[in-house]
Amino acid sequence: MKTRTAQAGVAAVALGAMLGAFAIGAPPASAQEDTKAEIERYREMLQDGNPAELTVLRGEGLWKEKRGPKNASLEQCDLGKGPGVVQGAYAELPRYFADVDAVMDAETRIVHCMVELQGFDRAEITKRPFSGSGQRATDIEALAAFVVEESRGVPVNVPQQHPKEVASYQRGERIFHYRGGPYDFSCASCHEGENKRIRLQDLPELTKQEPAQRAFTTWPAYRVSQGALRTMQWRMYDCFRQQRFPEMKFGSEASIDLITYLGVTAKGGKMDSPSIKR
């Protein structure tokens, strides 16, 4: 990685300290368990001074600033709890929106508001929805960070009242189990069944409530290894890439359906985002 970041520096120091502690400590019962505990400790150390907080502050500024061709702020944006209500909104997304007759997730809805209220060009703002490694967060990422911060501690409650919300969940479940691509992979190949991992990363079993809660409540997150804040749309996009599926379009129905499926499974988990991840 070309980009030099503070976080990479912190990671190196933390690793060094970990190795030192490992060498002088009693022999571990299980090397793998020990590594897992140390990774947890490393995450705790990073939580203080999470760079995502800077993105949240910028997002708040963007939310309140009059911008775009219509010179309007996003303060009248309806995230599902009425115009202007941000508090707790993320925990109940994706949901059905009557004005567009469709289910939308947080990021899609933010884009919708940027188009409708501020007059931005949809194609223009969604051309590059995700920032590059170590680069400044995009406006969508910053806004998503702000919106999710306003739901910290709020229990996840993705609604299943409207028929389209139910349909979205059902499609999401089907996509989750759909095998395809050159690897003949599905989301479930990695995320269904106990104790699966890629290298040292434990893979959450996303069909179960507790692991789904941990996943849903901790995205968006600051990714230390990429020096960037990553959103839920990015998480879906990158899982598709890792499966070698066709590129997932930002805000596509498939992406929203998968987020709905995860969100409904994660019901009751307390939002704790933006978090910080390896």
Partner 1 sequence: MADPMKIRASAKGDVVDVRVLMAHEMETGQRKDADGNTIPAWYISEVVASLNDKPVLKAHWGPAIAKNPYMQFKIRGGKAGDKVTISWVDNKGDKRTDEAKVS
Catalytic residues, which ones? Answer: 239
Using CB under 8 A, pick the residue from 28, 61, 84, 268 that binds partner 1. Answer: 61
SS3 content of the chain, % helix, strand, coil (to 5): 45, 10, 40
Using CB under 8 A, pick the residue from 43, 45, 53, 267 that binds partner 1. Answer: 53
Judged by CB under 8 A, the stretch of 19-27, 47-55, 177-185, 237-245 that binds partner 1 is 47-55
Using CB under 8 A, pick the residue from 6, 31, 37, 200 that binds partner 1. Answer: 6
What value, to the nearest 5°, has the Cα angle with vertex 105 and ends 65 and 155?
A: 95
Residue 8: strand, helix, or coil = helix
Judged by CB under 8 A, the stretch of 5-13, 25-33, 82-90, 111-119 that binds partner 1 is 5-13
Residue 168 and residue 263 in contact, taking contact as beta carbons nearer than 8 Å: no
Task: Identify which of residues 1 and 19 has a Cβ nearer to partner 1 in the complex.
Answer: 1
Residue 111 and residue 123 in contact, taking contact as beta carbons nearer than 8 Å: no
Task: Identify which of residues 7 and 207 has a Cβ nearer to partner 1 in the complex.
Answer: 7
Nearest distance from C-beta of residue 5 to partner 1, angstroms: 5
Nearest distance from C-beta of residue 135 to partner 1, angstroms: 10
> What residues from 78 to 137 belong to the interface with partner 1 (CB under 8 A)?
134
Residue 4 is a binding residue for partner 1 (CB under 8 A): yes
Residue 16 is a binding residue for partner 1 (CB under 8 A): no
Residue 97: strand, helix, or coil = strand
Residue 66 is a binding residue for partner 1 (CB under 8 A): no
Judged by CB under 8 A, the stretch of 55-63, 75-83, 151-159, 203-211 that binds partner 1 is 55-63
**Angle, nearest 10°, between helix axes 253-265 and 163-177?**
100
Residue 229: strand, helix, or coil = strand
Residue 134 and residue 229 in contact, taking contact as beta carbons nearer than 8 Å: no
Residue 199 is a binding residue for partner 1 (CB under 8 A): no
Q: Please enumerate, as own/partner, the contacts of 83-89 that have beta carbons within 8 Å and a separation of 24 or more.
A: 86/146, 86/147, 86/150, 87/150, 87/151, 87/154, 88/150, 88/151, 88/154, 89/147, 89/150, 89/151
> What residues from 126 to 165 belong to the interface with partner 1 (CB under 8 A)?
134
**141 CB burial (10 A radius; 0-12, 13-18, 19+):** buried
Residue 220 is a binding residue for partner 1 (CB under 8 A): no
Residue 67 is a binding residue for partner 1 (CB under 8 A): no
Residue 276: strand, helix, or coil = strand
Residue 274 is a binding residue for partner 1 (CB under 8 A): no
Determine the Cα–Cα distance for residues 53 and 229; give it in Å rounded to an integer: 10
Judged by CB under 8 A, the stretch of 45-53, 105-113, 205-213, 259-267 that binds partner 1 is 45-53
Residues in touch with partner 1 (CB under 8 A): 2, 4-7, 9-10, 48-49, 51, 53-54, 57-58, 61, 134, 227
